[in-house]
Amino acid sequence: MEKSLFEQMGGTYTQQGDYILPNLILPVEEEQPIGIWGQRHLHYIKQHRRIRYTELFTSGKLNAYLAELNNEAEAMFSRLIKQMAEKQGITEQLKDKNPMEWVQHMNNIQVCAREIVNTELIYS
């Protein structure tokens, strides 16, 4: 019997019951910690970008992709908070003078920055 293209390329098969299944192994991927931004994007691509998710998963690049996206999102989030606080005049003096007002402004800034990061990186 003639070898299949899979066998010609070095692939092997295993018989399980009435089925002959190829022995497929996913590439080993280096485990990197994935933060909240990476987890949100993972959930998004699993639900809405299935082809992209499958491509990254089967190529062994999913974890590295999510870790890189998480680092990029975290840097963007921090940069946005700093820029918005400077632009609105939120300083350490305000924090010392009126802590509750400072917290209100900072919470508002964080919500705005989170929305920008979600729109620009996570859910796109």
Segment 41-49 shows an average pLDDT of: 97
pTM of the model: 0.77
Query: Which one-letter DSSP state was computed for residue 60?
Result: T
- From residue 38, how far is each of 43, 45, 56, 99, 109 by CA, in Å? 9, 11, 14, 32, 21
Check: CB of residue 43 under 8 Å from CB of residue 8. no
Residue 10 has pLDDT above 90, yes or no: no
pLDDT by residue (tens digit) across 23-36?
A: 877 667 778 889 99
Domain chopping of the chain, boundaries = 31-122
pLDDT by residue (tens digit) across 46-93?
A: 999 999 999 999 888 999 999 999 999 999 999 999 999 999 999 999
